[in-house]
Amino acid sequence: MSSQVKIFSGTTSRAVAEKIAAAYGQPLGDLSIQRFADSEIGPSFNESVRGCEVFLIQSTFPPADNLMELMLMVDAAKRASAYKVNVVMPYMGYTRQDRKDKPRVSIGAKVVAEFIQSVGTSRLMTCDLHAGQIQGFFDIPVDHLDGSTITAPYIKSLNLENLIFASPDVGGVVRTRAFAKKFGAEIVVCDKMRLRANEIASMQVIGDVTGMNVVLVDDIVDTAGTVCKAADLLLERGAASVRAVITHPVLSGPAHERIRNSALVELITTDTIPLREENEKIKVISVADLFARAIHNVVSHESISSLFI
């Protein structure tokens, strides 16, 4: 006899969690988050989870409080005798810190992976990690969903001629090539040099985009400096139009203003992170159905890869 499935949401991912639960075919469970005067967090389940397979939905943005809230939710579920506690993290923060790229720095992705496992998480379900090999930091099952499953069909629906895909940096070439393969299209690369984080010193285009409709492919847009500079440069190099398709709209600081004032026709993204403000240039496609199908397949012991291969 299979365990009863219950789905709960943290504070900041409520909107996408409601969509995921609806797509799965049941309402969100009843969970309260108490906040003390000093901002300390105390989650409490208002219904029994004993013997249940629990799915806790929470992205980490900004990472610290939301991550801590999620870990306390896992601990509460374990102490309430849940059969399994699965973390559904549409956006996992700290994944840009996946290696030592200079001396005396932390590997944040490894720290978060250890944190997630240390509280008794049974499995992690996430989407488009900054680097796929981050899965190797975990000793529990990781369901790594592919955001292009839902964004590529939208690009196809535009019926763009002379389509070419662009990576905004050398590190994103593998991701861009995989996306372009769905269309049988070529890729170009915007090679950038940074002086420091979130600040670009120079950029050049490797490849010919003359007369082409270009789609920039990335996983995260933070301050939008890279993607907007790349769009401007591609138009200067003769592109007919430039769009961008991403998965996680972090969109910090001046990002929205930069996107509005950029050469981008539109920025296509998912709702792994809710937008802080409305933006007429941003097209949002929900990951709810993808995650709901993944939860169903986990519960029924079916293939996850079948969802996007």
What is the distance between the alpha carbons of residues 251 and 238, in angstroms, rounded to a whole number? 27
Q: In this structure, what token pair is assigned to residue 300?
A: 């029924």
Cβ contacts of residue 165 below 8 Å, gap of 6+?
Answer: 176, 179, 180, 183, 185, 186, 187, 188, 214, 215, 216, 217
Q: Which is the catalytic residue, given 6, 19, 84, 192?
A: 192
Cβ contacts of residue 37 below 8 Å, gap of 6+?
Answer: none
Peptide bond into 141 cis (omega under 30): no
Cβ 98 vs Cβ 105: under 8 Å: no
Report the Cα–Cα distance between both ends of the chain, in Å, rounded. 30
Helix (H, G, I), strand (E, B) or coil at 65: helix
Query: What secondary structure, in 3-state letters, does 80-140 show?
Result: CCCCEEEEEECCCCCCCCCCCCCCCCCCHHHHHHHHHHHCCCCEEEEECCCCHHHHHHCCC
For 260-287, give the DSSP string: HTSS-S-EEEESSS--SS--TTEEEE--
- Hey, how many other C-beta atoms are within 10 angstroms of the C-beta on 112? 22
Cβ 70 vs Cβ 118: under 8 Å: no
Concerning whether 281 is annotated as a catalytic residue, the answer is no
CA atoms within 13 A on the CB side of 161: 1
Q: Which residues are catalytic, by number?
A: 192
